[in-house]
Structure 1
C-alpha cells in the first residue's frame, strides 16, 4: 500500500547563510577557547576601558617622578660622600673644594686682582664687611674661612693685610712683616771663629767652604718659603685672589732688614771637619 504521507523536503539553505552560520559558530568557539570564563566580547571591551580609565586616574607619571627624585637623591648622597672623603652625605663639608665655592667661580670669571700694599692693608679683618687677605711671595689669598685665626685677636693676625714672606722663614712675626728676603740666609750660616777656621782650613779651602755654605743656606731659605707658598696654593680652605702690585725697583728704595734676634740665635760656630772630630 502506497504511503500517502506527504514527503517533507528540507529547504536547502543558501551557501551564504551556511557560511555565516559556520563563521559565527567558529567565532564563538574561538572566543570560548581564547578567553574561557570571560564575559562576552562587548563586556570585555568595557572592562578594558574601565582599566585604562583607572590607570589614567591613578596618575602614573607621579610615581615616575618619585622614582627619578629618589635616584637623584641617592646619587647626590653618594657623590657627596666620595668628594668629602667620607665626611658627609649631604654636602655639608667644612672645607669644600674650590669648584664648589661661589667665591672661587667669581675669581675665575673676574680674573686676579692687583692690590698695592696700602690697598692690601685694608683687608686685615678689622672691617668685618670685607674679606681677610694675606699675601706670601707677592701672591694674595683669601683666608676669611679662618677669621678666628687671622682676624683681630687671632694668633696669626700679624699676617693679615700684608705680605710677610720674611716672617714665615725667620719666625719673627712682629719684626719681619715684609716680603724683603735679603739677608735671611744668614740664619742658616755658621758663625766665623778664626781660631778654629784657620786651624783646619787654608784660606782657599775656607773660601770654597763659605761659598758652599752660602749655597746651602739659600736653598734652605727657598725650601722654607716654598713650603708655605705651597701650603696656601694647594689649600682647599683658602682661595687665591690675585697679586701685590709693586714697583719693579722697590727693593732699591728699601733698606735691607737686619736679621731678627730670634733667627740670629739659631746660628752656631763652624764645626771642625768630620775626620778631625773623630781624632778628638
Structure 2
C-alpha cells in the first residue's frame, strides 16, 4: 500500500495592515470638500444666469438690477487709456467735426476734449447739435448763440445777466436833487413825487452795480459748469485730452460782443419798492 504523505499547508502571507491614521488626519479628511473648481464655476454661472433673468423680469429691461455699466468696461474708454491723452489746437479740432467718417467726432468745452462719436446722430453732420462739433464752443453753451459763439472766449458774457440801464428807473434809486437846484422846472414835480427821502447815493449805486456784475459772473460760471459736469460725468462720451493754447490767450485780441439773442434776453432793472 502506497505511502500517502500529506503536504504541509503553505502558510499564507498575512495582509499588511493599513497604518492607522491620526485623529488630526481623520478630521482633515472629513473636512475636505468634495467640490472641484469646475463645480464652483458651474454654481456661480447658474446663480448669475438666474439673477440676470430675474432682474430682467422685475425691471423689464436691465440684466443687472438697474446698475449702470462701469465706465472702465467700455471699449472707447479702454482705447483712450491705451492711446493716452490727445492735445489738439482749436484749429486742429475743426478736422474732427464728423465730416470725415474715418476720424472720431470731437468737441471741447472749457478746454477739455470729448469723443462724442457715440452721439453722431446728434453731433454729426445734419444733427441738431452739429454746431458744437469740431470746436470749443463754451461761449455758445451759455449764450445759446450757436452760429456766432463757437469760441471759448467768455469775455463779456456776464452782460446777458445784467439789467439794462434806464435813466428813468435808475434815477429813482439815487438821492433826488432838490427841486430848487433843477435847471428844468418841468422835472420838479417828478422829483417831488419821488420824494427827497434818501434811497441810494451815487457811490452806493456804483456798489450795487458791482454786486450785480459779481452775481452775473456767478450765473455764467453755473451755466457753463452745468455742461462741463454733463460731459464729465457722461457714460456715453469719453474724455480724450485737452486743447493746446498759448499762455494768456484769454485776454488777447478784441473781446466778442454780446450776441443778439443774449442781448434780447436782458431786462430793465426792477423799480425800487414804493416807487
- TM-score in terms of structure 1 length: 0.68
How far residue 276 of structure 1 moved from its aligned partner, in angstroms, is: 2.1
Match of 1:130 among 93, 96, 103: 103
Contact kept in structure 2, 1:98 and 1:239, CA below 8 Å: no
Residue aligned with 2:222, SS: helix
Aligned equivalent of 1:239: 238
CA contact (8 A) 1:96 1:237 kept: no
Structure 2 matches for 1:172-191, cutoff 5 A? 172-191=145-164
| Cα distance change of structure 1 residues 204 and 105 upon mapping to structure 2, 3 Å threshold | same
CA gap of 1:205–1:117, structure 2 versus 1, over 3 A, is same
Match of 1:101 in 2: 74
- Which runs of no fewer than 5 residues in structure 2 stay unpaired? 1-8, 12-34, 175-200
Matched positions, count: 214
User: What is the TM-score when the length of structure 2 is the normalising length?
Assistant: 0.69
Change (3 A) 1:79 1:138: farther
Aligned ranges 1:117-156 → 2 under 5 Å:
117-156=90-129
Deviations 1:135-159 (A, max 9, x none): 0000001111110000000000000
Unaligned runs of 5+ in 1: 1-16, 21-60
Displacement of 1:216 in angstroms is: 0.5
**Aligned residue for 1:54?**
none
Given candidates 137, 147, 161, the residue that maps to 2:134 is 161
1:212 paired with 2:211, answer yes
Tell which structure's C-alpha radius of gyration is larger: 1
Deviation string, structure 1 residues 40-85 (Cα, Å, up to 9, x no partner):
xxxxxxxxxxxxxxxxxxxxx9x98577346325426747998xx9
* Structure 1 counterpart of 2:225: 226
